[in-house]
Amino acid sequence: MLITCPYCGPRDVIEFTYQGDGNRERPQPASQNLDAWNAYVYDRLNPAGDHNEIWQHSGGCRSHLRVVRNTLTHEIRSTTFARGGHKSADNRAEGRS
Amino acid sequence: MSPRRAETGGRIDRLRTIRFTFDDAPYTGHAGDTLASALLANGVTLFGRSFKYHRPRGLLAAGVEEPNALVTVLRGEVREPNIAATMVEIYDGLVAVSQNRTPSLAWDIGAINQLGGKILSAGFYYKTFMGPVIGPMKGTRFWMFCEHFIRRAAGLGKAGTASDPSRYERMNAFCDVLVVGSGPAGLMAAKAAADQGARVILADLEAHFGGSANWSGETIDGMPAADWAQRAVKQLEGNDNVRLLPRTTVWGYYDGNTLAALERVTDHKEAPAKGEPRQRYWAIRAGTVVLATGSFERPLVFPGNDRPGVMLAHAAERYANEYGVLPGQRIALFTNNDSAYRSALALKKAGAAIVAIVDVRSDVSNEMRKLTSEAEAELLAGHAVIATEGGKALTGLKVQRFDFMSGALSGDERSIHADCLLMSGGWSPTIHLASQAGAKAEWDPARQAFLPPKPTQRWIGAGAFTGSFSTAEAIAEGRAAGLQAAGGAASPAPLTVVEAAPGDPDPAPIFEIKAKGKSFVDFQHDVTAEDVRLAHREGFVSVEHLKRYTTLGMATDQGKNSNVPGLAIMAEALGKPIPEVGTTRFRPPYTAVSIGSLAAERFGDLKPERLTPMHDWHIANGARMYSAGLWYRPMIYGLAGETVEQAYVREAKATRESAGIVDVSTLGKIAVQGPDAAEFLDRVYTNMFSTLAVGKARYGLMLREDGLAFDDGTTWRLGEQEFLMTTTTANAGKVMQHLEYFLDVIWPELKVSVTSVTDEWAGAAIGGPKARAILAACVTGTAVDNATLPFMGIVHGQIAGVPVMICRLSFSGEMAFEVYSGAGYGTHVWEALIEAGKPFDLVTYGLEALGTMRIEKGHVTGAEIDGRTTARDLHLDWMLSKKKPFIGSAMMDREGLVANDRLQLVGLIALDNRPLNGGGHIVEELDEANPHDSLGHITACCYSPALGKYIALALVKGGKARHGTRAFVSDPLRNRFGPIEIVSNHFYDPDGSRMHG
Amino acid sequence: MADHQLPERLSPLEPEYHPGSHGNFEHGVDVILSETRPGSILQLAAWPSEEKRLIEAIRKVTGLALPDGAGGGVSNGGRAAFGFAPGKFTVVDEAEGLAAAFAGAITPAIGTLTDLSHGRTAIRIAGPKAEWVMAKFFAIDFALPAFPLGAGRSTNHHDIFAQIQRSGADQFDIYVFRSFARSFWKALCHASEEVGYEVQ
């Protein structure tokens, strides 16, 4: 499998480290909402199809990347730098409780 | 003269004679021969014994698909079994032996299995699992009884036990176009792509490029096809943008157009050149792949189709045309299609007599009739072969009238005298790589074959691979594929003219002649047509189950000959058309791949070694090293005659009495820099770092997001915006990734950069009552007294002219200092410290003494921060700041993590004065026969010179509440049981007066 | 401070560094291996949007004008610089003391400076088979069009992280962690035996 790092170009998957589900939404640091924290730490979608993932190009430029990967075909639909594109939907999570 | 070598013909070098042995008998061959062609030329017909029944077997094929003629090649003590003789190029001194025979190939005791054929039918292995009941043995016991004999009798070559001295290598390659297969289609594709300026790799598993052109006898562009191919190869060789890889099997097609190939670099040579690898594993990233992998001729399934002398038609043609070897003098052919007629004519031209062409079709075209008369052969249209005769070589065959609509045999049996029977059951495109690449193959009813699926990756097919079996089509498709792959436009230039024998590519849909006797489908695994039907009768209807139950296609040849006939027979039994039965997906590898090639340069060297700057000094000064992850660290500096325990006890004792020095360069060190560095550390650590003064260090603890303990270490504030974080040796990489993740993904607004500086610094920790005096004796540029260098203070100075940074902190519990210098000066500073320490009885100590002193102090390491413990479990709750959130703060107070009965850190003292073992369990009641109810386990243990006792750290239910109570260690694996006392983990100097001085 | 009388730094390759020709060299050596031992190896990191100012600072201090684009770099013999990650650059000087020269130029507003002069070991491979030998270790494309002169790449060989700069048409400088350097060097020599190599 090749992942195209936006900085380094296409590289073999062995240069990358999977760093978890890219759909996770981290609550605000001071949040005491355990449901939101629980969802962030443990709940995963595990879709059959396109999946948002975080990968680190640990054997290269070490950037974290947002990767949309099809879990059925391994096709990688997009790769972007994670920096700057992060979601912080803590307010929504707070609002749920 | 060799009995079967024709006087002329072939592409071998008759001037070069090569000597080799097979089963200890000496033979000769010529340069360009394979082991198969050379032995065949010498009149050898018997090449192997079959897998289950030990039937004599000869050559079936001439290429990679050969299922019968498997040999073991010996090089000194090293043996490589199960190589097809068709793929072994002979060289002077080659030693090959046959397989699966006792005591010899010609007289094999295992052949008695042929008499018990019914017992060894499909699913035999599985049936022995269940029964039958024989005397006192039933089910699995019967299996165990049988297993010994089965494993001896059934099988392939024996693997060797000598270690392989060969070198293997991995190569990474990139190209615009990878062409797999170098027949006319592949050569045209490579040339067309190369002419467009594309970077091209052309790989072929054979030694010589050209594929079928090397033996087809056709004329291309007005010259013999083989010459045309050689001309094309020459042109490619002259191109800088072309890499030619002969003897290279592309065996795997992976995601992202990444392909794996194995190049047999020196297997055909007497000896490799210096440094030359035996085999090279190529990892190829291709823009586009042209699959020009050709096709396999299929055997027909009829009784006795496995007798030596029965061969695939094209294989015989190849032996004659490429190697100048006639597989027989009186040759009969048996076919369901037109291609065999061309083979007949080729063999006639090479000097053999063609006694008959037996065709299952009654309606044979005039063109084929014409070829028959040119070959001076008798045509038996509407006939089938129903039996073969002979022992270790064919003597004749029997034919009968055959109705191909009904499959019925009728009329009188007729015997034909022949020493060779060639069969052709149609052709199967070699779609393995396309199948590996993704989609499912499609059945083509006209070709009676599975054709390649629609591409799911960037590949283009050409030639016989696509079901276009003629050379003219191969050339046209090859050129088009090459142009397309290189991004060029279709060429209007006229195509090369091919003169070839005529023929309809579509065979009659006949796979099997049902007559009395064993008809083999899978030659290598001895699976018969009857086995397939038996599997069906026993309820196996899915092709995947059929495959596993009968083991059809599961041998080392992976069913290259047998898949389609097997499916056809299964489909007939099911009463379904073949496409409804479906086919199995091909998986890598296409052919066997040596483990050595996958290990490549890692062969004999599992991991790189990570060495500290003082490594050579340690070795030169008697350290016994051991590996800690990738690092090598001194375990002890043993004196003559000392045990490990005696050495570390001496080292630890001396450190507490005078001073000791240890190499701590392996500690993870991360530069944390930037305007937000302090804020970042406040979020990462459980305790505060923004309040830390410049020039001071602080012990810090990190949690994971789930609230469990992650890592600990000291972090030094070197400047307002500059920190030096240290981590445990083992977690350095993980902590780095953790920090990078939060900076990149969670808090991109923080202006902080983190850099691994582990290797920048050499670290020496010097501790003990005389440590400060030693420093005072060698450090210049700064004082080291209590006022200048208080506990957790940092100073800069020089030792032996080298700038050093000294922090006063302690892991041993003694007054101690960590001295850091540039790694290139590490040994220089270390030696200066040793020299300065001589008057003070300074000792060097290793990890064992380091561990001993930390256990005495009750400090935690990775053994206690094991991913299951919390800060509270380790009595580090004093480090959990209540003034700020930090990673893990929200999750660390969940009810399961604060329960009273959690395993918590305690100390243990062995009351029987015997050593304890890591991993031993703690129990309230000792029950050696039936250990039960563990309270927890030991994480670290040692003999404590400070206490004069065997002690341990342990994680025990209830923790502190058990201080002062007694329990037992229960370690049945090592038979260690005995009384212990549970105490505080702070065994030694609990108030820290020694390190504070 | 004490620069004038610093002892010579110890090379991590020392016991495994054997000048001379090795391997299959009877028909000539196809690669030359050496440790270049630069005095200064720095890592510079710019905050997002400050990259241009950092590149300008590099030009001012070293005279090296970095080309635009990921992995862009330049090498002039004594000095070299290349990008190895977004906003991050390695700058090398054969002389010691480059960190001091940069101290005033990289302000906290621009980014950070990390001295890795001891922490990284610089190994040079040169010769007609340099690309061939490099391809044994690293899964990156070493062909000149894909890896232009001066450019830098971050990659790894199993556990060994490496920054590579193309410092000539058939020459590469490899920066590895010092602790891995000896292991990597041994592997590099082993892999070069096939083509014949000389250690300088």
Alpha helices in B838-873 (DSSP H): 847-857
Top residue of A23, A55, A83, A90 to mutate, by most chain B CBs within 10 Å, is: A83
For position A90, what pLDDT does the model report?
Answer: 36
Tokens of B305: 């189709």
For domain A2-96, the CATH architecture is 2-Layer Sandwich (3.30)
For position B194, what pLDDT does the model report?
Answer: 98
Q: Cβ(B398)–Cβ(B356) under 8 Å?
A: no
Adjacent-strand bridge partners of B80: B73
| R_g over Cα of chain A | 15
Rounded Cα distance, B744 and B737, in Å: 10
Using the Cβ of A84 and the Cβ atoms of chain B, whether some distance falls under 8 Å is answered with yes
Cis peptide before B502 (omega within 30 of 0): no
Eight-state DSSP code of residue B519: B
Q: What is the dihedral of CA B833, B834, B835, B840, to 10 degrees?
A: 100
Rounded Cα distance, B930 and B938, in Å: 19
Q: C142 burial class (0-12, 13-18, 19+ CB within 10 angstroms)?
A: buried
For position B101, what pLDDT does the model report?
Answer: 77
Using the Cβ of A19 and the Cβ atoms of chain B, whether some distance falls under 8 Å is answered with yes
CATH topology of domain B310-424: FAD/NAD(P)-binding domain (3.50.50)
Around Cβ B365, how many Cβ atoms within 10 Å? 14
Rounded Cα distance, B661 and B843, in Å: 6
pLDDT tier, A89 (very low <50, low <70, confident <90, very high otherwise): very low
Q: Running along chain B, 997 residues long, what does each successive block of 10 average in pLDDT?
A: 76 96 96 97 92 90 95 93 96 94 72 63 62 56 60 70 91 98 98 97 98 96 97 96 98 96 97 95 98 98 97 97 96 98 96 97 96 97 97 93 94 96 97 91 94 93 97 97 95 91 94 95 93 91 84 87 91 90 86 91 76 98 94 96 96 97 97 98 98 97 97 97 96 96 95 97 98 97 96 97 96 95 98 98 97 96 94 96 97 93 97 96 94 95 97 96 97 95 96 85
Domain ranges of chain A: 2-96
Q: Cβ(B802)–Cβ(B822) under 8 Å?
A: yes
Domain ranges of chain B: 13-110, 122-153, 169-298+427-507, 310-424, 510-585, 616-666+759-868, 669-756, 900-997
Chain B residues touching C39 at Cβ < 8 A: none
Got the DSSP string for B457-484? SSEEE-GGGGT--SHHHHHHHHHHHHHH
**B839 half-sphere exposure, CB direction, 13 A CA radius:** 9
**C48 half-sphere exposure, CB direction, 13 A CA radius:** 9
Name the phi and psi angles at B982, rounded to 5: -90, 125
**Nearest-CA distance B562 → chain A (Å):** 29
Q: B254: closest CA among B459, B441, B454, B443? A: B459
Tokens of B290: 């042209």
Chain A residues touching C139 at Cβ < 8 A: 11-12, 14-15
Helices and strands in chain A: count of H runs, count of E runs: 2, 6
Task: Please name the residues in contact with B595: beta carbons below 8 A apart, sequence gap of 6 or more.
Answer: none
For position B775, what pLDDT does the model report?
Answer: 98
- Say if residue C67's pLDDT is above 80: yes
CATH number assigned to the domain covering B669-756: 3.30.70.1400
- Round to the nearest angstrom and report the end-to-end CA distance of chain A: 41
- Say if residue C198's pLDDT is above 70: yes
Interhelix angle C178-192/C130-137, nearest 10 degrees: 120
Rounded Cα distance, B423 and B304, in Å: 12
Contact between chains at A82 and B744 (C-beta distance less than 8 A): yes
Rounded Cα distance, B455 and B440, in Å: 10
For position A85, what pLDDT does the model report?
Answer: 43
Chain A residues touching B684 at Cβ < 8 A: none
Adjacent-strand bridge partners of C165: C152, C173
Degrees to nearest 5, angle at CA B60 with B268 and B546: 110
**Nearest-CA distance A59 → chain C (Å):** 5
Phi-psi region of B487 (alpha: psi -120 to 50; beta: other; left: phi over 0): left
Looking up tokens 């008759």, which residue turns up?
A: B14
Q: C181: closest CA among B759, B665, B629? A: B759
For domain B900-997, the CATH architecture is Beta Barrel (2.40)
Rounded Cα distance, A4 and A19, in Å: 16
Contact between chains at A60 and C48 (C-beta distance less than 8 A): no
Task: Please name the residues in contact with B315: beta carbons below 8 A apart, sequence gap of 6 or more.
Answer: B59, B60, B61, B62, B63, B297, B327, B422
Rounded Cα distance, B632 and B144, in Å: 46
Beta strands of B554-630 (E only): which ranges?
623-628
**CATH topology identical between B169-298+427-507 and B310-424:** yes
For position A86, what pLDDT does the model report?
Answer: 38
Q: In b/e form, how buried is each residue of C146-159, taking b as 16+ CB within 10 angstroms?
A: ebeebbbbbbbbbe
Chain B residues touching A17 at Cβ < 8 A: 737
For position C143, what pLDDT does the model report?
Answer: 96
Q: Cβ(B949)–Cβ(B909) under 8 Å?
A: yes
Task: Please name the residues in contact with A62: beta carbons below 8 A apart, sequence gap of 6 or more.
Answer: A56, B740, C85, C154
CATH topology of domain B169-298+427-507: FAD/NAD(P)-binding domain (3.50.50)
Q: Cβ(C115)–Cβ(C29) under 8 Å?
A: no
Query: What length is written for chain A?
Result: 97
Q: Which amino acid is at B997?
A: G
For domain C16-37+120-200, the CATH architecture is 2-Layer Sandwich (3.30)
**Nearest-CA distance A83 → chain B (Å):** 5
For position C6, what pLDDT does the model report?
Answer: 87
Task: Please name the residues in contact with A89: beta carbons below 8 A apart, sequence gap of 6 or more.
Answer: A25
Rounded Cα distance, A41 and A33, in Å: 12
CATH 3.60.20.10 fits C39-116, yes or no: no
A 21-40 residues inside an 8 A Cβ radius of B? 26-27, 29-32, 34, 37, 40
- Round to the nearest angstrom and report the end-to-end CA distance of chain B: 97
Name the phi and psi angles at B3, rounded to 5: -60, -30
- Say if residue C153's pLDDT is above 60: yes
Is the ipTM reported for this complex over the cut 0.85?
yes
Q: Cβ(B402)–Cβ(B314) under 8 Å?
A: no
Q: Cβ(B986)–Cβ(B936) under 8 Å?
A: no
Name the phi and psi angles at C194, rounded to 5: -55, -40
Q: Cβ(B450)–Cβ(B437) under 8 Å?
A: no
Task: Please name the residues in contact with B405: beta carbons below 8 A apart, sequence gap of 6 or more.
Answer: none
Rounded Cα distance, B812 and B187, in Å: 71
Chain A residues touching C48 at Cβ < 8 A: 83-84
Rounded Cα distance, B215 and B226, in Å: 7
- The pTM score is 0.93
Eight-state DSSP code of residue C194: G
Give the distance between the most distant pair of CA atoms in chain C. 57
Alpha helices in B154-224 (DSSP H): 184-195
Top residue of B166, B603, B753, B782 to mutate, by most chain C CBs within 10 Å, is: B753
Rounded Cα distance, B309 and B388, in Å: 10
Q: Which amino acid is at B949?
A: K
Structure confidence by residue, pLDDT tens digits, C1-45: 445 578 999 999 999 999 999 999 998 999 999 999 999 999 999
Q: Which amino acid is at B585?
A: R
Distances (CA, A) of B577 to B428, B570, B571, B573, C48: 17, 10, 6, 10, 64
CATH topology of domain B13-110: Ubiquitin-like (UB roll) (3.10.20)
Rounded Cα distance, B814 and B837, in Å: 16
Using CB atoms, pick whichever of A10, A17, A64 lies closest to residue B744: A64
| R_g over Cα of chain B | 38
Nearest residue on chain A to B894, judged by CA atoms?
A34
Q: Cβ(B827)–Cβ(C10) under 8 Å?
A: yes
Q: Cβ(B802)–Cβ(B824) under 8 Å?
A: no
Class of domain B510-585: mainly alpha
SS3 per residue for B242-259: EEEECCEEEEEEEHHHEE
Using the Cβ of A82 and the Cβ atoms of chain C, whether some distance falls under 8 Å is answered with no
Got the DSSP string for B422-443? EEE--EEE--HHHHHTSSPPEE
Q: Cβ(B745)–Cβ(A54) under 8 Å?
A: yes
Contact between chains at A2 and B285 (C-beta distance less than 8 A): yes
Rounded Cα distance, B502 and B238, in Å: 35
Domain ranges of chain C: 16-37+120-200, 39-116
Q: B331: closest CA among B364, B377, B294, B274? A: B377
Q: What is the dihedral of CA B880, B886, B891, B892, to 10 degrees?
A: -20
